[in-house]
């Protein structure tokens, strides 16, 4: 059922939006806290190195260990002296003087030399400047590694929640699905049970109208009203039964096969020609031959019947109705049912396909209860066909676009 499918999609969508927000917040919080903690350690190391605090800063210096900090002194003449620490990455004195020059010329007393993976802290010294450097390669490496790891973990968690949401959505909407199924079953059963008493009421009313004709004006009027209301109720019951039957047919895709759309449309036209004649309306048609589609012939007949019945009811008095079946490309064909009449407003053209839609007095004055076009839309959807309505050249033009059968299939 489409209602249940849409409900499941909404359930999954809302659930995944919440999960995405929570995972995203946790991701950014974790990355921020870890990187902030590493930066605090680096800055603390810089401060302690610049202050010449005694004791091991991070680990004991040895020839086999790359110590992640060092300090230099720069006199007023620009001569650089390595003060303390060990840093095995710079190859010579020129490299040392180059990075020290960047530290001295920096606009701020602290900053990063991203090209060399270093962070510096510059303080004034009686003989010039003292600059402490700390290596940030470990910080940059762990930051990138942390980012990739957290993204991977968050992605896996997100996918797990998506799978769980899919199964939980089915479980969550099961009571709603059962309720809708029972409601539709009740409508079908009630409609079926009402047909018999309505048929009896109509038959008896017709007999009474014949037997009691001429007794009195009031009696004739009352019997006529009973008969008219019985006819309206029977029409509604038949529409409800048709809707219930159509929903069952729409769920059954096993009857689809190759069928001639040209023949099915022509069959519908021949059936409705007497109806148009009785209603004093003109019916013309232009049907292309050999239009073959894959579909259910019974459903296609029903769709054509709905369009033609709609044209009979809502076209202008003595108006013209034109049925056209044409190829619009190598892969598509379009069925038009055009009828002269008052234009359907643009904002209401989608609404006419809703169930029980009665948008204006003109439509409400006709027989029917607004189920036909809703059924037609369901049939079109079952055949993956586009359906709609336009207003062209003074005519309301309902159309359906079908995909043609591949000749090789």
Is the pLDDT at 335 greater than 80, yes or no?
Answer: yes
What whole-number percentage of the chain has pLDDT above 70? 80
Is the pLDDT at 172 greater than 90, yes or no?
Answer: no
Are 230 and 358 in a shared domain? no
Are 79 and 91 in a shared domain? yes
Are 233 and 302 in a shared domain? no
Q: Look at residue 264 in the predicted model and tell me its pLDDT.
A: 93
Nearest-angstrom CA–CA distance, 14 and 23: 14
Q: Look at residue 64 in the predicted model and tell me its pLDDT.
A: 40
Residue 82 lies in a domain: yes
Is the pLDDT at 141 greater than 80, yes or no?
Answer: no
Are 246 and 258 in a shared domain? no
Q: Look at residue 383 in the predicted model and tell me its pLDDT.
A: 87
Are 385 and 260 in a shared domain? yes
Indicate the range of 26-30, 244-248, 384-388, 397-401 predicted with least confidence. 244-248
Digit-coded pLDDT (tens) for 271-314: 999 999 988 899 999 999 889 998 888 889 989 999 999 899 88
Are 210 and 320 in a shared domain? no
Are 258 and 362 in a shared domain? yes
Angle at 247 between CA 363 and CA 5, to 5 degrees: 105
Token pair for residue 107? 């606009």
Residue 168 lies in a domain: no
- Most confident listed range (136-145, 186-195, 341-350): 341-350
Mean pLDDT of 28-34: 81
Residue 203 lies in a domain: yes
Res. 361 pLDDT band, cuts 50 70 90? very low
C-alpha dist (Å) from residue 160 to 153, 156, 157, 381: 11, 6, 5, 32
Res. 138 pLDDT band, cuts 50 70 90? low
Domain end (from 71, 105, 139): 139
C-alpha dist (Å) from residue 226 to 199, 221, 229: 13, 9, 5
Q: Is residue 23 within 8 Å of 192, Cβ to Cβ?
A: no
Is the pLDDT at 213 greater than 50, yes or no?
Answer: yes
What whole-number percentage of the chain has pLDDT above 90? 17
Q: Is the pTM of this model over 0.75?
A: no
Q: Look at residue 255 in the predicted model and tell me its pLDDT.
A: 67
Q: Is residue 375 within 8 Å of 386, Cβ to Cβ?
A: no
Domain end (from 98, 117, 139): 139
Domain end (from 139, 159, 183): 139
Q: Look at residue 66 in the predicted model and tell me its pLDDT.
A: 43
Q: Look at residue 370 in the predicted model and tell me its pLDDT.
A: 67
Digit-coded pLDDT (tens) for 215-271: 777 888 888 888 888 887 887 777 777 667 666 655 555 467 889 999 999 999 999
CATH number at residue 276: 3.30.565.10
Q: Look at residue 344 in the predicted model and tell me its pLDDT.
A: 87
Average pLDDT, the chain: 79
Q: Look at residue 44 in the predicted model and tell me its pLDDT.
A: 74
Are 288 and 378 in a shared domain? yes
Is the pLDDT at 143 greater than 60, yes or no?
Answer: yes
Q: Print the domain residue range for 263.
A: 254-403
The dihedrals phi and psi of 283, each to the nearest 5 degrees, come to -120, 115
Residue 226 lies in a domain: yes
Are 259 and 386 in a shared domain? yes
Residue 42 lies in a domain: no
Digit-coded pLDDT (tens) for 71-91: 777 777 777 766 665 555 555
Nearest-angstrom CA–CA distance, 393 and 44: 81
- Most confident listed range (43-57, 99-113, 388-402): 388-402
Are 360 and 297 in a shared domain? yes
Residue 152 lies in a domain: no
Residue 259 lies in a domain: yes
Residue 59 lies in a domain: yes
Are 329 and 381 in a shared domain? yes
- Cα dihedral across residues 357, 358, 363, 364: positive or negative: positive
**Number of domain units in the chain:** 3
Are 279 and 393 in a shared domain? yes
């Amino acid at each position: 059922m489409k209602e249940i499918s849409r409900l499941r999609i909404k359930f999954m969508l809302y659930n995944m939006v919440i999960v995405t927000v929570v995972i995203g917040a946790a991701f950014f919080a974790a990355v921020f806290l870890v990187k902030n903690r590493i930066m605090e350690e680096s800055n603390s190391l810089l401060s302690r190195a610049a202050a010449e605090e005694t004791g091991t800063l991070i680990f004991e210096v040895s020839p086999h260990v790359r110590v992640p900090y060092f300090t230099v002194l720069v006199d007023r003449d620009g001569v650089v002296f390595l003060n303390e620490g060990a840093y095995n990455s710079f190859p010579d004195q020129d490299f040392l003087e180059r990075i020290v020059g960047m530290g001295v010329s920096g606009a701020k007393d602290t900053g990063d030399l991203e090209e060399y993976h270093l962070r510096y802290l510059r303080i004034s010294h009686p003989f010039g400047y003292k600059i402490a450097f700390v290596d940030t390669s470990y910080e940059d490496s762990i930051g990138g590694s942390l980012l990739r790891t957290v993204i991977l973990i968050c992605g896996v968690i997100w996918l797990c929640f998506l799978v769980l949401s899919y199964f939980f959505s089915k479980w969550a909407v099961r009571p709603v699905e059962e309720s809708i199924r029972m409601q539709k079953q009740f409508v079908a059963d009630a409609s079926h049970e009402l047909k018999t008493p309505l048929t009896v009421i109509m038959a008896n009313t017709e007999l009474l109208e014949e037997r009691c004709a001429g007794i009195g004006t009031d009696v004739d009027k009352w019997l006529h009203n009973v008969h008219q209301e019985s006819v309206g109720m029977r029409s509604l019951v038949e529409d409800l039964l048709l809707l219930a039957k159509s929903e069952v047919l729409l769920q059954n895709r096993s009857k689809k096969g190759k069928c001639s759309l040209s023949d099915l449309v022509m069959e519908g036209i021949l059936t409705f020609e007497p109806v148009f004649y009785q209603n004093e309306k003109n019916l013309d048609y232009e049907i292309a031959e050999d239009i073959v589609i894959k579909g259910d012939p019974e459903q296609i007949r029903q769709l054509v019947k709905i369009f033609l019945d709609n044209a009979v009811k809502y076209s202008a008095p003595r108006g013209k109705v034109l049925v056209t079946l044409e190829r619009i490309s190598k892969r598509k064909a379009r069925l038009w049912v055009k009828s002269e009449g008052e234009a359907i407003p643009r904002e209401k053209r989608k609404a006419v396909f809703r169930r029980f839609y009665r948008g204006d007095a003109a439509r409400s004055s006709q027989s029917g209860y607004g189920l036909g076009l809703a059924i037609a839309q369901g049939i079109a959807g079952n055949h993956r066909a586009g359906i709609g309505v336009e207003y062209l050249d003074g005519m309301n033009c309902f159309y359906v676009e079908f995909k043609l059968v591949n000749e090789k299939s």
